[in-house]
Amino acid sequence: MRFDTKIGIVVREDLAVWQKLNVTAFLASAVAGGDPEVIGERYEDGSGTSYLPMFRQPVLVYAADPAGLAQVRARAVERGLAVAVYIEEMFKTGDDVDNRAAVRAVTAEEMPLVGLAVYGPRNAVDKTLKGLPLHP
């Protein structure tokens, strides 16, 4: 099935594995929380046990260096896409309030990005992520 929209997550390639997974999970939650249309129906097994719903479409994860992340952020904002960011300082914070304060403390150009998510029309997301490799 081909979707009209696309979810892309870009993670800095030199992070530790646990950091990559953590960043990816947080950024995916931002997309889910930002637009209820991206979430499908609840799952249920043959025994009647109910499970949480998930994205209704695939999520593609890409790798980039710091310059690539900054370029993707700028392109995404320029195209009006929904964007979520994760910066280095957020590894040191312990809650959502401190995370937002960390992001607020830096300008867009100074942001030490370790990951970001973009969501929007498929063509615009494809153009924004053009040239990035899928995460290995």
CATH number at residue 51: 3.40.1490.10
pLDDT in tens, 54-88: 999 999 999 999 999 999 999 999 999 999 999 99
β-strands 43-44, 50-51 pairing: antiparallel
pTM of the full structure: 0.94
Tell whether 114 is covered by a domain. Answer: yes
Say how many domains are in the chain.
1
* Within a domain: 81: yes
* Residue 28 pLDDT: 97
pLDDT-flagged residues of the chain (< 70)? none
At residue 2, the pLDDT reads 84
The answer to whether residue 134 is domain-embedded is no
> Tokens at residue 126, please?
């494809």
What's the pLDDT score for residue 16? 96
Host domain of residue 117:
5-129
Cβ-based neighbour number of residue 82 at 10 Å = 17
Residue 135 lies in a domain: no
**Residue that the structure tokens 């280095």 belong to:** 88
Look at residue 97 and tell me if it is in a domain: yes
- Does any domain span residue 136? no
Decide if 64 is inside a domain.
yes
Residue 11: CB partners within 8 Å, gap ≥ 6?
20, 23, 24, 61, 62, 63, 64, 114, 115, 135
Q: Is residue 9 part of a domain?
A: yes
